[in-house]
A and B are shown apart, each in its own frame.
Chain A
Amino acid sequence: MVSHGLVLDLVERVGTVARHGTVSVPLGEGDPEELAATVAAWCARSGNELVEVRGSRAVVRRGRSPDPLAELAPDLVPGTRLWMYTNFDCNLACDYCCVRSSPQSARRALGLDRVRRLATEALAAGVSELILTGGEPFLLPDIDELVTVCTAELPTTLLTNGMLFRGRRLEALRQMDRTQLALQISLDSATPEQHDGHRGRGSWERAVAGIRTAHDEGFRVRVAATLPYEQTHELAAFHTFLDSLGIAREDQVIRALAHRGAADNGIELTLESLIPEVTVTADGVYWHPVSADHDDQLVTRDIFPLQDAITEVRRRFTEQRAQATAAAQWFPCA
Chain B
Amino acid sequence: MSKPLIVGAVAYTPNVVTIWEGIRDYFAGSASEMDFVLFSNYGRQVDSLIDGTIDLAWNTNLAWVRTVAQTDGACRALAMRDTDTVFRTVFVARTGSNLGGLDGLKGRRLALGSKDSAQAAILPVHFLDRNGPGADEVELLRIDSDVGKHGDTGRSELDALRAVLDERADAAAIGINTWEAIGREELMPGAFEAFWESPTYSHCNFTALPRVPEERTGPWLERLLAMDWDNPEHRPILEMEGLRRWVSPKLDGYASLVEAVKEQGISARW
**Known A11-B158, A18-B18, A62-B15; contact A5-B181, beta-carbon cutoff 8 A:** no
Q: How far is the CA of A7 from the CA of B186 in the complex (A)?
A: 11
Q: Is the CB of A4 within 8 A of B188?
A: yes
| B249: Cβ under 8 A from any A Cβ | no
Chain B residues contacting A42 (CB-CB under 8 Å) are 183, 187
Instruction: Give the complex CA separation of A41 and B186 in angstroms.
Output: 10
Question: In this assembly, does A45 line the interface, its C-beta being within 8 Å of a C-beta of chain B?
Answer: yes
- For B154, the chain A residues whose CB sits under 8 A away are 11-12, 15
The 8 A CB mask of A136-156 against B (1 = contact, 0 = none) is 000000000000000000000
Q: Does B191 contact A (CB under 8 A)?
A: yes
Which A residues, 46 to 73, have Cβ-Cβ distances below 8 Å to chain B?
46-47, 62-63
When the two chains form their complex, are residues B165 and A4 in contact, meaning their CB atoms are under 8 A apart? yes
Contact between B15 and A17, CB atoms less than 8 A apart:
yes
Q: Does A16 touch B at the CB level, under 8 Å?
A: yes
Specify which of A1, A8, A46 lies most central, judged by the most chain B CB atoms within 10 Å of its CB.
A8
- Whether A18 pairs with B14 at a CB distance below 8 angstroms is yes
Cβ of B182 within 8 Å of any chain A Cβ, yes or no, is yes
A284 in contact (CB, < 8 A): no
List residues of chain B with CB within 8 A of the CB of A17.
Answer: 13-15
Note all chain A residues with C-beta closer than 8 A to B15.
Answer: 15, 17-19, 21, 62
Which residue of B is nearest A12, CB measured? B158
Q: Judging by beta carbons under 8 Å apart, are B13 and A16 in contact? A: yes
Tell me whether B182 and A7 are in contact (CB under 8 A). yes
The verdict on A5 contacting B14 (CB below 8 Å), with A42-B187, A45-B183, A63-B240 known, is no
- Of B18, B154, B155, most buried by chain A (CB within 10 Å of CB) is B18
Residues 1 to 46 of chain A near chain B (Cβ within 8 Å):
1-2, 4-5, 7-8, 11-12, 15-19, 21, 38, 41-42, 45-46
B182:A11 contact, CB within 8 angstroms = yes
**Which residues of B sit under 8 angstroms from A19, Cβ to Cβ?**
15, 18, 236, 240
Q: Which of B43-76 contact A (CB under 8 A)?
A: none
Chain B interface residue count, CB cutoff 8 Å, equals 25
Question: A7 contacts which of B13, B183, B190 (Cβ < 8 Å)?
Answer: B183
Q: Which residue of B lies closest to A62 (CB)?
A: B15
Cβ of A39 to closest chain B Cβ, rounded Å: 10
Task: Output the least CB separation between A33 and chain B (Å).
Answer: 16
User: Which of A11, A42, A47, A63 is packed against the most chain B CB atoms within 10 Å?
Assistant: A11
CA of A41 to CA of B187, assembled, Å? 7
List residues of chain B with CB within 8 A of the CB of A7: 182-183, 187-188, 191
| CA A41 to CA B189, docked complex, whole Å | 12
CB of B83 within 8 Å of the partner chain? no
The answer for the CA separation of A330 and B248 in the assembled complex, in Å, is: 42
Contact-size category for A: 20 to 34
A16 to B183, CA, bound (A): 18
Give a binary string over A93-105; 1 marks a CB under 8 Å from any B CB, 0 the rest: 0000000000000
How far is A47 from B183 in the complex, measured between Cα atoms in Å?
Answer: 12
How far does the Cβ of A50 sit from chain B's closest Cβ, in whole Å? 13
- Chain A residue with Cβ nearest B15: A18
Query: Nearest residue in A to B192 (C-beta to C-beta)?
Result: A4
Cβ–Cβ contact B165 & A47, under 8 A = no
Minimum distance in angstroms from B162 CB to a CB of chain A: 6
**Chain A nearest Cβ from B106, distance in angstroms:** 26
Minimal Cβ-Cβ distance residue in B for A17: B14
Look across to chain B and name the residue whose beta carbon is closest to the beta carbon of A41. Answer: B187
Assembly CA distance A11 to B188 (angstroms): 13
Distance, CA A11 to CA B181, complexed state (A): 7
Could you tell me the distance in whole angstroms from the C-beta of A275 to the nearest C-beta in chain B?
25
With A4-B165, A11-B154, A47-B239 already in contact, the answer to whether A16 and B181 are too (CB < 8 A) is no
Indicate if the CB atoms of B14 and A8 lie closer than 8 Å: no
| Bound-state Cα–Cα, A46 to B154, Å | 15
Which residues, 168 to 189 on B, are CB-close (under 8 Å) to A? 178, 181-183, 186-188
* A-side contacts of B186, CB under 8 Å: 45
| Minimal beta-carbon separation of B217 from chain A (angstroms) | 28
Known contacts A8-B162, A11-B182; is-contact A38 B187 (Cβ 8 Å): yes
Which one, A5, A18, A45, A47, contacts B187 given CB within 8 A? A45
A73 and B1 CA atoms in complex are apart in Å by 37
Q: Which residues of B contact A63 (CB under 8 A)?
A: 236, 239-240
B153 to chain A, nearest CB (A): 7
By a CB distance below 8 angstroms, the chain B residues around A46 are 181, 183
Query: Which listed residue, A1, A2, A11, A41, touches B178 by the CB 8 Å rule?
Result: A11
Q: Give chain B residues whose Cβ lies under 8 Å from the Cβ of A21.
A: 14-15
A15 to B182, CA, bound (A): 12
Top 9 nearest A-B pairs by Cβ distance? A4-B191, A18-B14, A18-B15, A18-B18, A8-B158, A11-B181, A19-B18, A4-B188, A12-B158
| 11 pairs, A vs B, C-beta closer than 8 Å | A4-B188, A7-B182, A7-B183, A12-B154, A12-B158, A15-B13, A16-B14, A18-B17, A21-B14, A42-B187, A46-B183
Given contacts A8-B161, A46-B183, 10 further A-B contacts (CB under 8 A): A4-B190, A7-B183, A11-B178, A15-B154, A16-B14, A18-B18, A19-B18, A38-B187, A46-B181, A63-B236
